[in-house]
Structure formats: structure tokens, C-alpha cells
Amino acid sequence: MAFPAHRPRRLRRTAALRALVRETTLDATHLIAPLFVKESIDDRVAIASMPGQYQHTLDTVRKEAAEIRSTGVRAFMLFAIPARKDAEGSEAWNPEGIGQRALGALADEFGDDAVVMADLCLDEYTDHGHCGVLDDHGEVDNDATLERYERIAVAQAGAGAHVVGPSGMMDGQVAAIRGALDAAGRTDVAIMAYAAKFASAFYGPFRDAAEGAPRFGDRTGYQQDPANGDEAMREIRADVDEGADFVMVKPATPCLDIVRRAADLGAAPVAAYHVSGEYAMLEAAAANGWIDRRRAVLEVLTSIRRAGAGMILTYHARDAAGWLGER
């Protein structure tokens, strides 16, 4: 019997051979760890819908970040929950607010040895839970919201953020933030734009964690329709033109095609957000014994890298980095 000269199984025979020809790498330095900090709690609080994740105090968030950093992860995205909320989310730009104090704590902990990122939005800070201020008709006012985003960016930069991550999907948000940062003399602070953020069903557990679910309506009026790929690419190009240093695709696994297209565009480094619902599904399946947790998590994260993401924001960052360090 004649066999073809090319027999791929030869290169799959041992772990060492498989590693030698592996096309896609996954390393701790590709991962960004999200962290939640909440005002007016005395100890960390478990998030029921996200097993293994917590709302932290200033002390515990610093300890958690240091432990994650020891695994090789070198970037953190901070989300903050204030004790006081109002219609415009004014705690978001309060220099003494919980978000800025937490950013300062991480900046003091790491200096330039890690990348400290700040989520830049209003949903955690407003009493109505939307990502911007509302007009007289109860709709999000785009331009009035941009004014608040400018204040937030300057406050976050002043607190020590290396990168700000506008996630509200307001038109012109990157240009407004870049202009405000530059005017404040903070040309050194980068922008990770949530350029293709879809109105996804996979955000539910995050809204528990960040306590930012809308009190009425939804976010389909400003987040993107999951059916629209070409529109996502227009948003990505627009954000790059406005000054984005990175672009984010969110959620990750339902949008691997967009990740690939964004990477092929080559206009800016591409991040993908492996979101709370994706995390929770893996955790639930593993808890029921339906999947091998370690293998499944690493397979999913590798697939996001294979699609073209240069970095992955994931709640599995600590565990995945630990597993990768054992290889």
C-alpha cells in the first residue's frame, strides 16, 4: 500500500514534537487580569455568578494583584464600585473616589513593572446603570457623556493608570479622551478602545460583579448588533483614526471572526475580552464534571490567540498563567 510522503502524525507523536511545531503560543504575558474593587466593604466578597472571583477592598485588591503578578501576568484592568451613585456618575472622576484610590494602590505596588489599566465608563457609577448621562427623554446623551469621559480619563491618568479603556461605545469617545489627555499633558497614557463591543447575552455575571445593570431598558442603542461584522470593522477603523493605541473586541469566542478581521487589518494591536458569561459557562461545566477545566480553559484561550488576539482580558488569568508555568 502506497502512503503519501507527508504524514503529519509523525509530528504529533510526543509532547516535545508537538511543542516544536506549535503554531500558536499562549503565555502569561498575553493575559490581562480584570479586578473589581468596591467601596464600603470590610473584606472581599465572593461573586456568586463568577465562582473564584471577588469584589475586593483596597487592601485585598492589592494583595490579589501581587499574587497574580507572581504568576507572570503583567497587566490588570480595574473596575470600581462606589458607595454613592448619582445620575451623572460623578464618583467616576472624583480624585479621592474608590476607582482612583485603587489605581493609585496598584501603581504604587508595581510602578512600571506591570501595566495598570482603568475601565472608563459610567455604568458602575450612575444610579440608573447606563453608560452615560441621560437627556430629558431618558436616552443616553452622547455628547454630554463625552464631557464626563474626558474628566474620567484625566482623573484616571492622574491616579496612575498607564492605559484607559473607554467601554461605553459613545460616538467620538476616543477623540474626546485623547484630546483631554493631551491637553492635560498626559500624552504618555494609552487608550485601549472597546471598538467592537457587541450587545451580547454573555455580560450577565459582570453586571452582578460591577453592580451596573441598567435600571430600565438595555444597551442595544449604543452597543453593536451581534449580527454586524462590517459595522464592527468601521468602528475599529474610526477608533484607530481617532487615536486608539489598542482595539478591543468583546465578547471573544462568539466574535473570533471579528478578532481575525481586526488582526488582518493591522491598524493597531488587538485585544479580546473573554467575558464573564464565557467564564461562568466554563466554570459551571467543569463543576459538573462535564469538561476538564484546565484543558478547556487553555484550549479556549489558545483559540482566541489563534484568531489573532495579541492579548486576552480574562477572569481565568491567574489559573491559566499558573498552568502555563507548569509546562
Angle at 38 between CA 312 and CA 120, to 5 degrees: 50
CB 87 within 8 A of CB 125: no
Of 230, 284, 272, nearest in space to 247 by CA: 272
Instruction: Burial-class residue 146 by CB neighbours within 10 Å (0-12, 13-18, 19+).
Output: buried
Instruction: For residue 154, give the C-alpha cell.
Output: 484625566
C-alpha dist (Å) from residue 67 to 40, 72, 135, 322: 23, 9, 43, 11
Q: Which of 38, 63, 85, 250 is catalytic?
A: 250
Q: Is 250 a catalytic residue?
A: yes
Residue 79 phi/psi, 5° resolution?
-120, 135
CB 207 within 8 A of CB 200: no
Q: Is 197 a catalytic residue?
A: yes
- At a CB cut-off of 8 Å and minimum separation 6, what does 144 contact? 132, 133, 135
CB 195 within 8 A of CB 249: yes
Q: Which of 38, 63, 85, 197 is catalytic?
A: 197
Catalytically active residues, by annotation: 197, 250
